[in-house]
C-alpha cells in the first residue's frame, strides 16, 4: 500500500522534484542506518560492565554513645547519617542483645555491613561465650566480622592467634576477625618490636590474619602549612602504606587503611576535602581494598577527652560538621567509579615527577618504570599510577600526588587503543587513540580501562 501511494504521488510530480525526493529519501535512510550502527556499536563496545561488580569497602568507626548522659543514640538517625555519607560498613559496639537486634534491623534496611566490637572485659577466649554473644549475628548477612583488638603490641600476637583460632571455630565461612595495627609513628615500646617492618611481619607470621588493617593519621598543622615536620609526616604516611602493601601482597591478603576524619590535641586539624581525597586515592592507587574513616561520631564534647577530639563528622550531640560534608563528598566520588576498578588487581605502581619523599617512601619490587600499553608520560604535576590487571586486560589508576595543586598529564600509548575514562561522575569518556590527556583536581584520581 505504501509503495502504491508513493508511486502515485511521485508520478504526479515534475521530474526534478522526483529526483530531489529520491535523494532526500536516500539521505534519510542512510542517516537512520548510520545512527543505528553507532548506537549498536556503543552498546556492544562497553569495556567495563559494572552491573555485577562489588563496591570497595568505605567504612567508619561509629560509637553509638552520642548524648551528654552517655545514652545510646537513636539507631534510625545513626544509620541515616551513615548511608547519606556513602558508607557501606561500620565498626560498632554491641553492649547487649536488645541493642544488637535494633542495630541488625537498621543495618539491613540501610545496606550497612557491621564489624562488631565485643563489650569491654568480654571473655572472647571462650567459644560458648562468644557464640552466645554473637547470637543472631551468625545468620545475618549484615555481619562481616569481629573486631578483637585495637593497636596490639607484638606482645599480644600470641593471644590474638589463640583468639583467632577460637573465633574461626565459631564464625561462619566468609566472616573474619579483625585487629587494627599501630601506625609506623608508634614507639618501639608500643610496637614491642625493633622496627615497624618486623612488627608487621611478626603479626602476619604469628596471627595469620585474613585481612591486614592499620591506622595512620598524617594531616598535621605542619602538613597543612608546609612547614616544620610537614614533609616528614607525609613521608611517614606513604612509607607506612608501602610497608603494609608489600606485607599484604606477600601474604596474599587484602588490606584496609584507617584514615583521619577528625582533629585533636591542637596539632592535627580535621582534613579538608583535598587532604582526605588524597589519603583515599593514595591508598587505592597502591592496591588498598578498603578505606575506613576514623571516627564518625565524636565520643566527647568538642575539644575534650584524652586527646581533645574536635571536628569529627558528627558531634557528640548529633550535629554534622564540615567534616561530614568532606567524607560524604569523597565517598561519593569513589562510589561513582569504584565498581569499574574493583574488578582489577593492582600489579605495581609508577611514579611520575615525584617529590623526593615519594620516591624515598615508596620503594620495593612493586615500583615499575613502564607498563604496557603506557609508553610515556608528560605534563605538569606529579602523579601516582596504580598498574591494574584483570585476566590480561589492562587499566591505570591515575592519582594526583598532590593535595595542594592540580595536575594536567598526557599519557602516550604504544599504539592506538580503545579505552574508557572513569571518574567522580562515572564513565566520562569512551573513545580510542594513541594519546590521552588527564586533568586532575587536587588529590583527585581517575581510572582508565583499556579494551582487551
Q: Are residues 237 and 161 in the same domain?
A: yes
The pTM of the full predicted model, rounded to 2 decimals, is: 0.88
Residue whose C-alpha cell reads 577466649 in the numeric block:
125
Q: Which residues have a Cβ under 8 Å from the Cβ of 233 and sit 6 or more positions away?
A: 218, 219, 220, 222, 223
Q: Are residues 248 and 357 in the same domain?
A: no
- Give DSSP secondary structure letters for 162-191: HHHHHHHHHSPTT-EEEEEEPPTTS-HHHH
**Domain of 282?**
57-335
Q: Are residues 255 and 389 in the same domain?
A: no
pLDDT at 397 over 90: yes
What's the structural domain count of the chain?
Answer: 3
In a domain, 50, yes or no: no
Res 268: pLDDT: 95
Of 300, 335, 370, at which residue does a domain stop? 335
Of 335, 365, 383, at which residue does a domain stop? 335
Q: Are residues 255 and 305 in the same domain?
A: yes
**pLDDT over 90 percentage in the chain:** 63
Q: Are residues 325 and 428 in the same domain?
A: no
Q: Are residues 126 and 185 in the same domain?
A: yes
Q: Please, what's the b/e burial string for 219-239 (b: 16 or more CB within 10 A of its CB; e: otherwise)?
A: bbbbbbeeeeebeebbbbbbb
Q: Are residues 278 and 301 in the same domain?
A: yes
Is the Cβ–Cβ distance between 178 and 213 less than 8 Å? yes
Residue 208, SS3 per DSSP: coil
Q: Are residues 317 and 351 in the same domain?
A: no
In a domain, 320, yes or no: yes
The pLDDT-based confidence of 374 (bands split at 50, 70, 90) is: very high
Rounded to an integer, the average pLDDT of 201-225 is 97
Q: Are residues 64 and 109 in the same domain?
A: yes
CA proximity to 316, closest of 119, 2, 68, 34: 68
Q: Are residues 305 and 418 in the same domain?
A: no
Is the Cβ–Cβ distance between 122 and 133 less than 8 Å? yes
Is the Cβ–Cβ distance between 277 and 260 less than 8 Å? no
CATH number reported for the structural domain that contains residue 389 in this entry: 2.60.40
In a domain, 52, yes or no: no
CATH number reported for the structural domain that contains residue 142 in this entry: 3.20.20.80
What are the tens digits of pLDDT across the range 127-167?
887 877 777 777 788 889 999 999 999 999 999 999 999 88
In a domain, 33, yes or no: yes
Q: Are residues 76 and 33 in the same domain?
A: no
In a domain, 340, yes or no: no
In a domain, 360, yes or no: yes
CA proximity to 108, closest of 79, 130, 81: 79
In a domain, 403, yes or no: yes
In whole angstroms, give the CA distance from residue 398 to residue 436. 12
In whole angstroms, give the CA distance from residue 171 to residue 166. 9
Q: Are residues 66 and 138 in the same domain?
A: yes
What are the tens digits of pLDDT across the range 297-352?
888 888 888 888 899 999 888 899 999 999 999 999 999 999 999 999 999 999 99
Residue, of 78 and 33, whose pLDDT is higher: 78
Q: Which residues have a Cβ under 8 Å from the Cβ of 452 and sit 6 or more positions away?
A: 391, 392, 393, 394
In a domain, 436, yes or no: yes
Strand pairing report for 290-294 and 255-260: parallel
Residue 290, SS3 per DSSP: strand
Alpha helix ranges (H) inside 208-307: 221-225, 230-251, 273-285
Of the spans 74-88, 108-122, 141-155, 282-296, which averages the highest pLDDT? 282-296
Amino acid at each position: 500500500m505504501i509503495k502504491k501511494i508513493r508511486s502515485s504521488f511521485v508520478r504526479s510530480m515534475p521530474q526534478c522534484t522526483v529526483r530531489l525526493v529520491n535523494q532526500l529519501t536516500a539521505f534519510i535512510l542512510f542517516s537512520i542506518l548510520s545512527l543505528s550502527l553507532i548506537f549498536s556499536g556503543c552498546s556492544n563496545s562497553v569495556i567495563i560492565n559494572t552491573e555485577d561488580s562489588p563496591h570497595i569497602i568505605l567504612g567508619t568507626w561509629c560509637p553509638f554513645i552520642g548524648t551528654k548522659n552517655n545514652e545510646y543514640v537513636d539507631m534510625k538517625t545513626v544509620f541515616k547519617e551513615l548511608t547519606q555519607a556513602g558508607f557501606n560498613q561500620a565498626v560498632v559496639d554491641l553492649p547487649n542483645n536488645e541493642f544488637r537486634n535494633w542495630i541488625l534491623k537498621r543495618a539491613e534496611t540501610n545496606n550497612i555491613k557491621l564489624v562488631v566490637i565485643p563489650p569491654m572485659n568480654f571473655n572472647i577466649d571462650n567459644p560458648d561465650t562468644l557464640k552466645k554473644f554473637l547470637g543472631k549475628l551468625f545468620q545475618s548477612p549484615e555481619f562481616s566480622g569481629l573486631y578483637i583488638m585495637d593497636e596490639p603490641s607484638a606482645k599480644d600476637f600470641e593471644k590474638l592467634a589463640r583468639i583467632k583460632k577460637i573465633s574461626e571455630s565459631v564464625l561462619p565461612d566468609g566472616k573474619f576477625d579483625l585487629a587494627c595495627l599501630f601506625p609506623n609513628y608508634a614507639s618501639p615500646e608500643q610496637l614491642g618490636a625493633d622496627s615497624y617492618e618486623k612488627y608487621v611481619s611478626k603479626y602476619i607470621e604469628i596471627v595469620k590474619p585474613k585481612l591486614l588493617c592499620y591506622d595512620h593519621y598524617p594531616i598535621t598543622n605542619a602538613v597543612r602549612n608546609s612547614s616544620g615536620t610537614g614533609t616528614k609526616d607525609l613521608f611517614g604516611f606513604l612509607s607506612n602504606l608501602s610497608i603494609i602493601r608489600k606485607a599484604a601482597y606477600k601474604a596474599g591478603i587484602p588490606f584496609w587503611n584507617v584514615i583521619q576524619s577528625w582533629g585533636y590535641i591542637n596539632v592535627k586539624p580535621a582534613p579538608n576535602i583535598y587532604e582526605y581525597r588524597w589519603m583515599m586515592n593514595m591508598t587505592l592507587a597502591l592496591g588498598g581494598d578498603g578505606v575506613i574513616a576514623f571516627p564518625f561520631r565524636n565520643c566527647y564534647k568538642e575539644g575534650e577527652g584524652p586527646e581533645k577530639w574536635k571536628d569529627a563528622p558528627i558531634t557528640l550531640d548529633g550535629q554534622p560538621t564540615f567534616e561530614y560534608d568532606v567524607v560524604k563528598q569523597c565517598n561519593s566520588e569513589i562510589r561513582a567509579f569504584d565498581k569499574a576498578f574493583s574488578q582489577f588487581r593492582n600489579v605495581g605502581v609508577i611514579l611520575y615527577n615525584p617529590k623526593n619523599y615519594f620516591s624515598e617512601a615508596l620503594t620495593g619490587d612493586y615500583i615499575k618504570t613502564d607498563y604496557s600499553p603506557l609508553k610515556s608520560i608528560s605534563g605538569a604535576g606529579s602523579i601516582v599510577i596504580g598498574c591494574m590487571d584483570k585476566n590480561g586486560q589492562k587499566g591505570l589508576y591515575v592519582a594526583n600526588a598532590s593535595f595542594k595543586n592540580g595536575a594536567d598529564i598526557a599519557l602516550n600509548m604504544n599504539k592506538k587503543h580503545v579505552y574508557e575514562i572513569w571518574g567522580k561522575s562515572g564513565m566520562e569518556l569512551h573513545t580510542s587513540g594513541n594519546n590521552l590527556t588527564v586533568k586532575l583536581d587536587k588529590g583527585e584520581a581517575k581510572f582508565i580501562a583499556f579494551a582487551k
